[in-house]
Amino acid sequence: NLKVGTWGGRGETALFGDLGVKDITKAHAINVLLQHLGADRSDTIAFGDAKIDIPMLDYCEIGVAMGNGGPEILAMADMITDDVEDDGLYHAFEKLGLLKER
């Protein structure tokens, strides 16, 4: 039985379901990927907008909350960008110096 409000989606707005394995977070998945790639955690940036993304933002070197995020992720993020529908990723990439001029 699913209860209203137990679904993930855009920010804290319920749109679809998040499923996961017990004790496995997005941060754990990033750690496994970094080990596989031989990459360093200091080179990581995470973007998120919901409670489920908090461990990932906390784990990565830079945690960016989307402007449409819930209050908990906005409070803990290293940086807040615009709403996802207002080109938030683009503006964050620009602010972080990740865009290359043509």
Q: What is the domain partition of the chain in residue ranges?
A: 1-102
pLDDT at position 45: 97
- The whole-model pTM stands at 0.81
CATH code assigned to 1-102 = 3.40.50.1000
Cα separation, 64 vs 100, in Å, equals 20
What confidence tier does 14 reach under pLDDT thresholds 50, 70, 90? Answer: low
pLDDT average, residue stretch 43-56: 93
DSSP state string for 10-29: STTS--B-----TT--HHHH
Token couple for 98: 């990740």
Phi, psi for 6 (deg, rounded to 5): -95, 10
